[in-house]
Amino acid sequence: MKLRSAEARRRTWLAWLVLAAAGTRPALAQDAAAVAVRGPVVLTVSGKLAGGQDQVVQFDLAQLNAMPQHSIHTQTPWYPGPRTFSGPLLRDVLSHAGAKGQVLHARAINDYKVNIPASDAERFKPVLALQIDGKPITLRDKGPIFIVYPYDHDPQLRSSVYYSRSIWQLKALEVR
């Protein structure tokens, strides 16, 4: 985890896009808490964090992969048949960043935006999916980060409300 300037974030984001287009991925790290951002930044968490208002915490793929991984096997409206989505729990990423707000303003690479109640992270335990069926999610197939709820575990989740919160190509979470 590392705090970075806006210019550094912009440069690393551009570098990440180049790597993603080439289909490369940084090597896995052993402990996300002990590893500074070394690869391209793929997720920025900002806003109301433990360090105070307007803080920024950035993650690369190695840090996200080093966190405890969880899987959800579920059907979605975007894929034929059930799929297995794996990655860290949203609540673990928020905890790691020190999130202190009530609402997550999520933004995708294509600037799609959606507000997600922070309580969803604990209540439904969605994952920040980095893999589908054991393979990294490519930029072309809704990756590298896709928020996935366990739709098959609760009928309430099979609705447009939660489908709209399942943002793919996630790049930023602003905690409000």
Q: Decide which of 89 and 30 is more confident.
A: 89
Residue 9 has pLDDT above 70, yes or no: no
Q: What is the pLDDT of residues 92-126, one digit of tens each?
A: 999 999 999 999 999 999 999 999 999 999 999 99
Provide the pLDDT for residue 50: 92
Give dist(CA 131, CA 87) in Å, integer: 7
Give dist(CA 107, CA 172) in Å, integer: 5
The CATH superfamily assigned to 6-175 is Oxidoreductase, molybdopterin-binding domain (3.90.420.10)
- Helices and strands of the chain, counted as H and E runs: 5, 11
Domain ranges of the chain: 6-175
Tokens 């579920």, residue located: 74
